[in-house]
Amino acid sequence: MTKTKETKITTKKLNLFYGKKNALKDVDIQINSNKVTALIGPSGCGKSTFLRTLNRMNDLINGVKITGDIQIDDEDIYSNKTDIVALRRKVGMIFQKSNPFPKSIYENVAYGARINGINKKEWLDDIVETSLKRAAIWDEVKDRLKEMATGLSGGQQQRVCIARTLAVNPEVILMDEPASALDPISTSKIEELIFTLKNNITIVIVTHNMQQAARVSDVTGFFLNGELIEYDSTRKIFTSPNDERTQNYITGKFG
Amino acid sequence: MYHYLEEELQQLTNKILKMGSLVEEQLNLAVKALFESNLEYAKQVIEQDDKIDKYDVKIDKLCQRIFALTQPVAVDLRIILSALKTNNDLERMGDIAVNIAERAEPLKSHLELLRNVGMDLMAEKVRLMVSKTLDSIVNNDPDMALSVIKADDVIDKLERDIFHKLIDLMEKDASVIRPCAHCITLLRHFERIADHATNIAEEVVFLVDAKIIKHRKNLDDLDSNAEKII
């Protein structure tokens, strides 16, 4: 795939080392705006590591060395000038295990706005309501915004976390197995949500659930041993992949 | 998980092949009944169609089960999709073999007419086509499948030739209208069998190469090693 004006994220010759272990090998990828890109591959293949390079979450791990380029909107996110807080505001993240703060539902969603200096109640109310609506959970929590977010079900907590991410208006959301700890109904709510969010947000999702990748994504990348083996439209990957290793993985012959 | 799917797909392929060879046997027996005026064979063909119908249902059920339990993708998905369609075509071919066998009785004293218009040639070519189609399934051989697809043009031309011969005969001699009318129906049956064989061959190409080639007028770009088989 060649770089076009729709390209949101570009990596070139991206390598990542955990100490001596080369966990990502020369990854070249172009991720398009307002699309859902799924990353699949067996455990330890580097897909989560790759995801975490996109908002510099790996910076927090000792002994990590990264070489190569990552650009988001033509900006080198590993440059010395990069404001990491601004980067993580622009590139939000949702994890496998929902991680609401031990605060009320309202305060969870208002948190980002507050630390950005917004304190006016009407504004905060508006941000909280809009974000919870965008995360498709407003109707379920609107009457108990002052209750602890940690008291919600797993699926609801995850959507509150998505609302919290949405509250700071990210352009990209990284999702690392966002539904793997959820029941099927909560899972399908998250999947529907992903489908609506992609209208104005670029989503990159790591998933072990192949059917989920097939259902929610427009483009799929298959990682194996730190290499990006195949990257193509989801339709192509799940009907007639080019690489035999991709075919073997998606048909369950290994992994 | 995978071993389960692998076994199910193997079972599916085996069933398709068994059904295919049953259809081939039925066709051969029907042709024999016709050209040897053997009504006992014809009766056998009619009675045995039941076996093919049972395979049809078994294969449908197996496909349904695999879909429901394993959500197959890529080549596994193509195996099932092509099995479903092949199953359909084989079942129709079995029915047509019965139709051919049913002509043995009305045409039993008209063997010369059959040979004169070239119906024996038609039967032989269609039988060969069916046999090569089954070979292409057994060997997952898209080149052989393309040979079958190309052979369908030969059959179509032969059908037109025989049709005109039959019309000529009927125009000249009204007393042959009845057997000739049976021959026209018979001709159509053979031609339809070749069409179903062609459909199956197209599924073989889809299964192996992931290409959908049905309804295409020109297949020259497929760069195949297809040979002339009939």
Here the tokens at position B210 are 């992931």
| pLDDT score of B217 more than 90 | no
- Domain count of chain A? 1
In a domain, A213, yes or no: yes
CATH superfamily of B2-222: Phosphate transport system protein phou homolog 2; domain 2 (1.20.58.220)
Cβ-defined contact of B75 to A252 (cutoff 8 Å): no
pTM of the model: 0.84
Q: Give the integer Cα–Cα distance in Å for B113 and B177.
A: 11
| pLDDT score of B221 more than 70 | yes
Query: How much is the ipTM here?
Result: 0.73
- The CATH number linked to A237 is 3.40.50.300
* pLDDT less than 70: residues of chain A: 1-4, 255
Q: Give the integer Cα–Cα distance in Å for B13 and B83.
A: 7
Q: What's the domain range around A226? A: 7-250
Q: Mutation target for A interface from B3, B67, B70, B75: give the one with most A CBs within 10 A.
A: B75
Q: How far apart are the first and last CA of chain A?
A: 26
Q: What is the pLDDT of residue B223?
A: 66
Q: Mutation target for B interface from A220, A248, A251: give the one with most B CBs within 10 A.
A: A251
Which residues of A touch chain B, with CB atoms under 8 Å apart? 210-211, 214, 238-241, 247, 250-253
Q: Give the integer Cα–Cα distance in Å for B121 and A105.
A: 82
pLDDT tens by residue, A170-199: 999 999 999 998 889 989 989 999 999 999
In a domain, A255, yes or no: no
Q: What is the pLDDT of residue B208?
A: 93
In a domain, A36, yes or no: yes
In a domain, A1, yes or no: no
Write down the domain spans for chain B. 2-222
B205 chain-A contacts, CB cut-off 8 A: none
Cβ-defined contact of A238 to B76 (cutoff 8 Å): no
| pLDDT score of B1 more than 90 | no
Q: How far apart are the first and last CA of chain B?
A: 44
Q: What is the pLDDT of residue A253?
A: 83
Place B215 in a pLDDT band, splitting at 50, 70 and 90. confident
Share of residues in chain B with pLDDT > 90 (%)? 87
Neighbouring C-beta atoms of residue B225, cutoff 10 Å: 10
Considering chain A, what is the average pLDDT of its residues?
94
